[in-house]
Amino acid sequence: MRVLLADHIGGVAEQLRARGHEVLESPALDADSLPAAVAGVDALVVRSTRVSAATIEAGSRLSLVLRAGAGTNTIDVEAAAAAGVYVCNVPGRNSVAVAELTLGLLLALDRRIVDNTVDLRAGRWDKTSYSQARGVLGRTLGVLGLGDIGSAVARRAAAFGMPLATLARPSRPAATTALVEQLGIREVDGLAALAAASDVLTVHVPATAATRGLVGAQVLAALPDGAFVLNTSRGDVVDEGALLAELDAGRLWAGLDVYPGEPAAGRTQWSSPLAAHPRVVGTHHIGASTEQAQQAVADGVVEVVDAFAHGDVRHCVNLAEGRLGSGTVVVRHRDRVGVLAGVFDLLRRAGVNIEQMDNRVFAGGTAAVATIDVAGQVDRELLARLDALPDVLHVSLLDVPATNGAAQ
């Protein structure tokens, strides 16, 4: 495959070349120059460079856009879906690094480490003022978003002796359910209730239309006086104006790694009333920036690209979820040339569209079963014609549940 690396991702180029891929490295590309660079490229790998609809359109051979990280908010996922381009990510590889920074921000707030350092460098000794920390032992940490990062934060906070709380969910992955039970995480209903139960609220949710401003005035007002807000996810998840109002009122403190409207460049002039606030301890969106995390992400990028080159799509975020169409045609057939071509031809002639399909071959390579989600009318006559095709052993029709992806 021909792969374009549009950001500096250490170690990836060498590993991909060693596996036989052609690799182009252009870390200076930006959203405006990227469209002209994707011609003839099969896969595009980015970290922070924005991938616009214009880039998707310009990539005539482009099949894969891979984010070297978890979030895909810098990629026009809808445009990629419309063009049949896979958008994939590398989830979970930087969880430990982000969790470590989150706990670092917590301790920096509690012990006022930044102010301590500033005064010492200025020749001021003020042990009296800085000896008044509350400590974190026994203080409740509310975890908003109990995914890979939130779970890593919860484990570390539990080691500090912090009681834990999170939002109640009707269902969770088995590993998360086990973690909730293991750590005794209290589940509460609603964001305001979670805030009210928390001395520290830490935010670990992706940036989506649904999460923009999720932590707003009502949630912040529910936090007890003196509470900490930690955000190492995305800046837009916390309402900037509402947080500034609480900080100005002297009610809350914040530890932030992300900010609304933060620069995309690695180094530039930038000012923000939130980042400059005296009740904020801030870092420069460096949550995933440790050697351990970068190596883990690089390894993940290589794994996804390698798998894609062999027909295995991993961690895709823009495929339709669930079953599609109006029904599912199941064809049990001999594994011979042209069998499925005949099935597809009959479906086409009947005006039935194939939404998605899976064909699995049995051991020995003699027989296979094709499961085909279709949109259109599949009547008994069509089923009989399909069943009569050479080398077709049996055909059946299954109903797709009303809650399939096409109906959402």
**Token reading at 190:** 């609603």
Active site residue 284: no
Choosing from 100, 246, 262, 355, which is the catalytic residue? 262
DSSP state of 184: T
Coil, helix or strand at residue 394: strand
Choosing from 21, 67, 139, 285, which is the catalytic residue? 285
Choosing from 21, 93, 139, 234, which is the catalytic residue? 234
Tell which residue, 224, 219, 218, has the closest CA to residue 203. Answer: 219
Q: Helix, strand, coil: what percent of the chain each, to 5?
A: 35, 20, 45
Q: Are 94 and 87 in contact (CB under 8 A)?
A: no
**Token reading at 317:** 């975020």
Active site residue 234: yes
What does the DSSP assignment read for 248-299?
Answer: HTTS-EEEES--TT--SSSS-----TTTT-TTEEE--S-TT-SHHHHHHHHH
Q: How far is CA 124 from the centre of its chain?
A: 44
**Token reading at 66:** 């891979």
Active site residue 333: no
| CB neighbourhood size of 346 (10 A) | 15
> Which long-range CB contacts under 8 A does 170-175 form with residues at least 24 apart?
172/146, 175/151
Tell which residue, 398, 236, 408, has the closest CA to residue 321. Answer: 408
Beta-bridge partners for 372: 329, 357
> Which long-range CB contacts under 8 A does 260-266 form with residues at least 24 apart?
260/235, 260/236, 261/235, 262/235, 264/30, 264/48, 264/49, 264/50
Catalytic residues: 234, 262, 285
